[in-house]
């Protein structure tokens, strides 16, 4: 009997240790971290800034064909400008700010993007790190991962004169040990927990057929229903290299004028919040944060099971 108990406890401890080390990426998880920022949407854009030669992403011909549709949704669209520049204009029009997760390689291949970053920085947007080459971190060694963060970090500091605080790994893939390793480096210890997202518009899957005011408005309405019924703040993931993301943002900000109960959160608030959560997560090697995350996950699963049984 005693042996069986010891064996079970040991097995449980091994399973917990395995889960902690292998599956727990120690990310900033909206459900866990943004509970006191309910009804706030934090806009975030990855993979930019769009290069001047890639103003239309992959779909230059289709987009030219869709000029009229684009102008119907956003009459101020500047066809000579990049998607990032058009997005910055839309955000300025509504006096809203966002987090831009920068793909470092873009800064090296196209120097004109430096000015875009500086304009975003001066407009009050938060400039954040999204690795250098956008390779899946699972395919890289620990040293290569850190190098990916370090290279983009140096480029961004060189342009804005400020050290970035937020980091988002490509495809959201990350591992706990990488976070610890980052924090051991004096130049990277200012980074908060890697920031995930709680809703994605899946703009990377959208085709020209999805560029219609009605379709985008339907998606925005669905999203706002989710935000309204959610228990925590929302981090919205989009990519400023796609036209869809700019038009979705435009429709979303227009719609929000009719919904004062939902706000676009200031990204500086998200940075402060992330820093506070990170400080508490750093204590005890992240164990309390891990237990809280797993506890809430379990609670959510149990709730969905009880809903099915009802």
Considering CB under 5 A, how many residues would be counted as binding Zn ion?
A: 3
- Residues in 11-70 that interact with Zn ion by CB under 5 A: 46-47
- Residues in 226-265 that interact with Zn ion by CB under 5 A: none
Minimum Å gap between C-beta 237 and Zn ion is: 9
Whichever of 47 and 74 has its CB closer to Zn ion, that residue is 47
CB-count exposure of residue 191 (10 Å: 0-12, 13-18, 19+): buried
Minimum Å gap between C-beta 22 and Zn ion is: 23
- Residue 95 DSSP one-character state: T
Give the list of residues 6+ apart from residue 158 with CB closer than 8 angstroms, or none: none
Q: Name the one range near Zn ion by CB under 5 A: 143-151, 166-174, 193-201, 219-227.
A: 166-174
CB-count exposure of residue 68 (10 Å: 0-12, 13-18, 19+): exposed
CB 81 within 8 A of CB 304: no
- Residues in 88-147 that interact with Zn ion by CB under 5 A: none
Minimum Å gap between C-beta 168 and Zn ion is: 7
Determine the residue with CB nearest Zn ion. 46
Minimum Å gap between C-beta 133 and Zn ion is: 11
Q: Dihedrals φ, ψ of 242, to 5°?
A: -115, 140
Minimum Å gap between C-beta 113 and Zn ion is: 16
- Buried b / exposed e over 273-293, threshold 16 CB at 10 Å, is bbeebbeebbeeebeebbeeb
Whichever of 170 and 194 has its CB closer to Zn ion, that residue is 170
Whichever of 46 and 240 has its CB closer to Zn ion, that residue is 46
Whichever of 16 and 200 has its CB closer to Zn ion, that residue is 200
Distance CA 26, CA 79 (A): 41
Element (H, E) at 238: strand 234-239
Whichever of 174 and 290 has its CB closer to Zn ion, that residue is 174
- Residues in 178-237 that interact with Zn ion by CB under 5 A: none
How far CA 250 is from CA of 14, 259, 306, in Å, comes to 49, 15, 39
Query: Which residues are registered as beta bridge partners of 200?
Result: 237
Whichever of 169 and 286 has its CB closer to Zn ion, that residue is 169
3-state secondary structure of 40: strand
Whichever of 47 and 293 has its CB closer to Zn ion, that residue is 47
Query: Which residues are registered as beta bridge partners of 45?
Result: 100, 238
Q: Name the one range near Zn ion by CB under 5 A: 17-25, 151-159, 169-177, 222-230.
A: 169-177
Q: Name the one range near Zn ion by CB under 5 A: 54-62, 139-147, 165-173, 292-300.
A: 165-173
Residues at the interface with Zn ion (CB under 5 A):
46-47, 170
């Amino acid at each position: 009997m005693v042996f069986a108990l010891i064996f079970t406890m040991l097995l449980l401890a091994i399973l917990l240790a395995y889960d902690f080390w292998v599956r727990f990426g120690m990310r900033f998880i909206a459900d866990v971290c943004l509970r006191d920022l309910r009804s706030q949407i934090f806009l975030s854009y990855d993979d930019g800034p769009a290069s001047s030669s890639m103003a239309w992403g992959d779909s230059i011909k289709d987009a030219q064909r869709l000029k009229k549709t684009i102008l119907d949704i956003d009459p101020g669209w500047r066809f000579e400008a990049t998607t990032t520049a058009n997005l910055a204009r839309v955000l300025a029009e509504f006096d809203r700010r966002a987090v831009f997760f920068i793909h470092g390689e873009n800064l090296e291949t196209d120097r004109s993007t430096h000015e875009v970053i500086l304009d975003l920085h001066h407009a009050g947007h938060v400039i954040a790190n999204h690795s250098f080459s956008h390779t899946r971190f699972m395919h890289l060694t620990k040293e290569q991962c850190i190098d990916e963060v370090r290279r983009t970090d140096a480029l961004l500091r060189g342009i804005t004169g400020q050290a970035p605080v937020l980091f988002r790994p490509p495809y959201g893939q990350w591992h706990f040990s990488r976070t610890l390793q980052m924090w051991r480096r004096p130049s990277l210890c200012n980074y908060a927990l890697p920031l995930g997202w709680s809703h994605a518009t899946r703009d990377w899957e959208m085709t020209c057929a999805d560029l219609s005011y009605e379709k985008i408005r339907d998606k925005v309405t669905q999203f706002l229903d989710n935000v309204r019924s959610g228990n925590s703040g929302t981090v919205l993931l989009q990519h400023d290299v796609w036209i869809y993301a700019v038009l979705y943002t435009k429709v979303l900000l227009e719609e929000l004028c009719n919904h004062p109960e939902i706000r676009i959160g200031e990204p500086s608030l998200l940075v402060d919040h992330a820093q506070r959560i990170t400080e508490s997560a750093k204590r005890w090697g992240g164990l309390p944060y891990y237990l809280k995350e797993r506890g809430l996950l379990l609670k959510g699963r149990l709730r969905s099971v009880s809903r099915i049984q009802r």
